[in-house]
């Protein structure tokens, strides 16, 4: 856990040191600049379960947002993105979801400032520069990473800091209320709490986690489909409402059911005929996906690769057929991956409707997967894929490299 602890940049530090130096030069600070970082995430399994108070198993990955900044006395933030050029700013005065103007990337920073202040945490203004190597709009949580990096830059030094789960909940509330995206807590939590070399088993009912070691001998490979996620926001909200309707109808007969987390297979079975057909399928996905998360944690611990492959395949099929959030491109990417020797399992990851797949791959087979994707995916879909071999890293925090 990196919560509150400086990142060690003395080891594999070459790339990191160069990145820090470039950001500092770009900031051109009058005094010493400070640095913070926050990782994106990939979810191994447990999809759409977070907003059903269920279980998820993401890992923070070495695709990160970095920020160099100097605090100032003004109650405002001015931030320049290396990718977008022009500085954007917002003031703390009058900051509220009601007064938010046109949609801009800096809204994620403003949302975090608003939510921190609303939670009673002191915040400070700063002038900063940020860069990111998390591909935008690909489902690897570039927005959550920007929020978590901001939560460190905005924090007043010495003020008590909530733990990673609580900080994630604050940032999630900012995204829900200020930005207006009705996401669950997984992305912010993974970015905040990441543990190098581990996935995180997060219980989204109580917002607590356990680190689950990634087995030696397996790599995490992310394949980006290059397809737009146009339908995502409205379809995501529809799925949430369908789950809520399922809970309401089941709870009429089953006292104590507050969320799909409280429903097991037997309970679902005896209530199926009372649910509209689409709602029944959505509920089936969630109830079984929660069980698959625990089964995956066991299979990772025992190194049961066949079982891992079957669990990934079952999750993907369920997201495609029952939850209906996959896409022809995601299906094509998974089909290519699972045919490559050394690929243990492959499935869509994140919200769906485009974005990325995640594959568990035996060491030494990563390039075979990359070659297969580059050779076959574009022919099948007409789209340009990208393949990233990623590592699980520590969660967001300050960087002390001087
Ligand atoms: C998006 C949301 C998360 C989660 C996933 C699906 O990434 O931001 O909260 O619901 O989709 O698992």
**Band (402; pLDDT cuts 50, 70, 90):** low
pLDDT of residue 231: 61
* For residue 360, pLDDT beyond 70: yes
Catalytic member of 50, 62, 107, 187: 187
Residue 197's CB is within 10 A of a number of other CB atoms, namely: 14
DSSP code, position 7: B
**Band (10; pLDDT cuts 50, 70, 90):** very low
pTM of the model: 0.95
pLDDT of residue 6: 37
Q: Atom 2 in ligand 1: which residue has the minimum CA distance? A: 183
The closest of 111, 240, 98 to 170, measured between CA atoms, is: 111
Burial letters 319-351, b for 16+ CB under 10 A, else e: bbebbbbbbebbbbbbebbbebebbbbbbbbbb
Q: Which two tokens stand for residue 68?
A: 């160099």
* For residue 1, pLDDT beyond 50: no
Among 134, 137, 145, 184, say which to mutate for ligand 1: greatest number of ligand atoms within 8 Å of CB.
Answer: 184
Q: What is the pLDDT of residues 99-151, one digit of tens each?
A: 887 789 999 999 999 999 999 999 999 999 999 999 988 899 999 999 999 99
Burial letters 278-316, b for 16+ CB under 10 A, else e: ebbbbbbbbbbbbebbebbbebbeeebbebbbebbebbb
| Helical residues (DSSP H) of 254-400, grouped into ranges | 265-271, 277-302, 305-321, 328-338, 366-381
pLDDT of residue 228: 73
CA 159 to ligand 1 center in whole angstroms: 30
Class of domain 7-214+393-399: alpha beta
Radius of gyration of the chain (CA): 21
Structure-token match 């998974």, residue found: 334
The closest of 354, 55, 51 to 183, measured between CA atoms, is: 51
**Band (366; pLDDT cuts 50, 70, 90):** very high
CA atoms of 215 and 293, how far apart (whole Å): 16
Counting Cβ atoms within 10 Å, is residue 255 exposed (0-12), middle (13-18) or buried (19+)?
exposed
291: left (phi over 0), alpha (psi -120 to 50) or beta: alpha
* For residue 327, pLDDT beyond 60: yes
The kind and range of the H/E element at 39 are: strand 34-43
Q: What is the pLDDT of residues 185-215, one digit of tens each?
A: 999 999 999 999 999 999 999 999 999 999 8
Q: Which atom of ligand 1 is nearest to the CA of 47?
A: 12
* For residue 4, pLDDT beyond 50: no
CA 358 to ligand 1 center in whole angstroms: 14
**Band (3; pLDDT cuts 50, 70, 90):** very low
Q: What is the pLDDT of residues 224-254, one digit of tens each?
A: 999 976 667 789 999 999 999 999 999 999 9
CA atoms of 36 and 146, how far apart (whole Å): 10
pLDDT of residue 137: 86
Mean pLDDT over residues 249-260, rounded?
97
Tell me which residues have their CB closer than 6 angstroms to ligand 1. Answer: 43, 47-48, 50-51, 183-184, 186-187, 350-351
Q: What is the pLDDT of residues 266-313, one digit of tens each?
A: 999 999 999 999 999 999 999 999 999 999 999 999 999 999 999 999
**Catalytic residue check, 8:** no
The closest of 90, 140, 136, 137 to 117, measured between CA atoms, is: 90
Residue-averaged pLDDT of the chain: 94
CA 219 to ligand 1 center in whole angstroms: 23
Q: Atom 3 in ligand 1: which residue has the minimum CA distance? A: 184
Q: Which atom of ligand 1 is nearest to the CA of 139?
A: 7
CA 244 to ligand 1 center in whole angstroms: 16
Among 43, 351, 353, 357, say which to mutate for ligand 1: greatest number of ligand atoms within 8 Å of CB.
Answer: 351
The kind and range of the H/E element at 41 are: strand 34-43
85: left (phi over 0), alpha (psi -120 to 50) or beta: left
Q: What is the share, in percent, of the chain residues with pLDDT greater than 70?
A: 95
* For residue 5, pLDDT beyond 60: no
**Band (32; pLDDT cuts 50, 70, 90):** confident
The kind and range of the H/E element at 172 are: helix 164-173
Domain definitions of the chain by residue range:
7-214+393-399
């Amino acid at each position: 856990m990196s919560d509150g602890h400086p990142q060690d940049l003395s080891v594999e530090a070459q790339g990191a040191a160069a990145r820090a130096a470039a950001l500092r030069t770009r900031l051109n600070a009058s005094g010493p600049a400070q640095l913070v970082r926050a990782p994106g995430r990939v979810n191994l399994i447990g999809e759409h379960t977070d907003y059903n108070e269920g279980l998820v198993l993401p890992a923070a990955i070495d695709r990160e947002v970095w920020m160099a900044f100097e605090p100032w006395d003004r109650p405002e933030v001015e931030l320049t993105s290396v990718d977008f050029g022009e500085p954007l700013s917002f003031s703390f005065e009058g900051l509220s979801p009601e007064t938010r103007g046109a949609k801009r990337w800096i809204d994620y920073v403003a949302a975090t400032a608003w939510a921190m202040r609303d939670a009673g945490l002191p915040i400070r203004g700063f002038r900063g520069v940020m860069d990111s190597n998390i591909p935008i709009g690909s489902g690897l949580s570039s927005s959550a990473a920007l929020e978590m990096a901001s939560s460190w830059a905005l924090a007043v030094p010495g003020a008590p800091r909530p733990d990673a789960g609580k900080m994630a909940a604050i940032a999630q509330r900012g995204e829900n209320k200020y930005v207006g995206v009705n996401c669950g807590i997984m992305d912010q939590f993974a970015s905040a709490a990441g543990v190098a070399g581990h996935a995180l088993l997060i219980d989204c009912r109580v917002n607590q986690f356990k680190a689950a070691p990634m087995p030696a001998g397996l790599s995490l490979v992310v394949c980006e489909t290059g397809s737009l996620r146009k339908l995502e926001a409205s379809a995501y909200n529809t799925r949430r409402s369908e789950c809520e309707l399922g809970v309401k109808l089941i709870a009429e007969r089953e006292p104590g059911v507050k969320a799909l987390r409280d429903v097991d297979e037997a309970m679902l079975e005896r209530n199926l005929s009372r649910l509209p057909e689409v709602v029944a399928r959505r509920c089936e996905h969630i109830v079984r996906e929660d069980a698959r998360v625990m089964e995956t944690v066991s299979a990772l611990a025992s190194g049961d690769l066949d079982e891992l492959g079957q669990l990934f395949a079952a999750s993907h099929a369920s997201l495609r057929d029952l939850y209906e959030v996959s896409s022809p491109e995601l299906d094509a990417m998974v089909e290519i991956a699972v045919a490559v020797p050394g690929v243990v399992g492959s499935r869509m990851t994140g919200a769906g409707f485009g974005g990325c797949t995640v594959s568990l791959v035996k060491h030494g087979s990563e390039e075979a997967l990359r070659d297969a994707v580059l050779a076959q995916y574009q022919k099948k879909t007409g789209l340009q894929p990208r393949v990233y071999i990623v590592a699980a890293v520590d969660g967001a925090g300050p960087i002390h490299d001087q």
